[in-house]
Amino acid sequence: MFRTPISRRRLGALGLTALAAGGALSACSGSSKDGAVTWATWGSPEDLKSYDRFQEAFAENHPEVPLDFQPTASYDEYHSKLLTQLSSGKAPDVFYVGDDYIASFIRNDVLLPVDDLIAGEGSPIAKDDFAASLLEVSSKDGVLYGLPNDVNPDTLWYDKEALAAAGVTEDPATLAENDAWTTDAYFDMTAKLAAAGLTGAVYYNYWATHGSFMTAEGGKVYDEAGAYVAHEDPLSIQAMDRYAERFVSKELVLAEDLPEGSGPTSMLVTHKLGFFAAGRYTIASLEGAGVNMDSYDIVRWPTPDGKAAPTGVAASYLAINKKAADPEAAFTFFSEFLSAEGQRLRLETTGTAVPSITGADDLVTDAGFPAHAQTMLDMRDIGFSNFPTEAAVPGLSAKISVDLMNPLYQGKADAATTLQKVADLVAEETA
Render pLDDT for 351-380 as a digit per residue (tens, 0 to 9).
899 999 999 999 999 988 999 999 999 999
* Distance from C-alpha of 284 to C-alpha of 208, rounded to nearest angstrom: 22
DSSP state of 404: I
pLDDT value of position 34: 59
pLDDT value of position 117: 97
Between 1-10, 107-116, 234-243, 269-278, the lowest mean confidence (pLDDT) is in 1-10
pLDDT value of position 274: 98
Q: What is the mean pLDDT of residues 173-194?
A: 98
pLDDT of 12 > 60? The answer is no
Does 351 or 61 have the greater pLDDT score? Answer: 61
pLDDT of 146 > 90? The answer is yes
pLDDT tens track for 72-82: 999 989 999 99
Helix intervals (H) in 89-151: 102-107, 115-119
pLDDT tens track for 86-110: 999 999 999 999 999 999 999 999 9
* Distance from C-alpha of 292 to C-alpha of 25, rounded to nearest angstrom: 39
364 and 280 Cβ atoms separated by less than 8 Å: yes
Is residue 376 classed exposed, middle or buried when 0-12, 13-18 and 19+ CB atoms within 10 A define those classes?
Answer: buried
pLDDT value of position 23: 35
pLDDT value of position 159: 98
List, by residue range, all CATH 3.40.190.10 domains of the chain.
Answer: 5-152+314-382, 155-311+395-429
Report the predicted TM-score, pTM, of the whole model to 2 decimal places.
0.91
Please state whether the peptide bond connecting residue 66 to the residue before it is cis, i.e. omega within 30 degrees of 0: no
Q: 3-state SS of the chain: helix, strand, coil percent to 5?
A: 45, 15, 40
DSSP per residue, 153-181: E-EEEEEHHHHHHTT--S-HHHHHHTT--
301 and 309 Cβ atoms separated by less than 8 Å: yes
For residue 8, how many C-alpha atoms fall within 13 Å in the half-sphere facing its CB? 24
Domain 5-152+314-382 architecture = 3-Layer(aba) Sandwich (3.40)
CATH number of 155-311+395-429: 3.40.190.10
For residue 4, how many C-alpha atoms fall within 13 Å in the half-sphere facing its CB? 22
pLDDT value of position 15: 28
Q: What is the band of 24 on the pLDDT scale with cuts at 50, 70, 90?
A: very low
Percent of the chain topping pLDDT 90: 88
Residues 6+ apart with CB under 8 A from 402: 205
Between 32-41, 170-179, 272-281, 286-295, the lowest mean confidence (pLDDT) is in 32-41
Between 86-95, 229-238, 342-351, the lowest mean confidence (pLDDT) is in 342-351
pLDDT of 329 > 90? The answer is yes
Mean pLDDT of all residues in the chain?
A: 91
Is residue 304 classed exposed, middle or buried when 0-12, 13-18 and 19+ CB atoms within 10 A define those classes?
Answer: middle
pLDDT tens track for 112-126: 999 999 999 999 999
pLDDT of 415 > 50? The answer is yes
Q: Which of 300, 278, 285, 317 is CA-nearest to residue 1?
A: 317
DSSP state of 219: -
181 and 307 Cβ atoms separated by less than 8 Å: no
- The total of other beta-carbon atoms located within 10 Å of residue 189's CB is 24
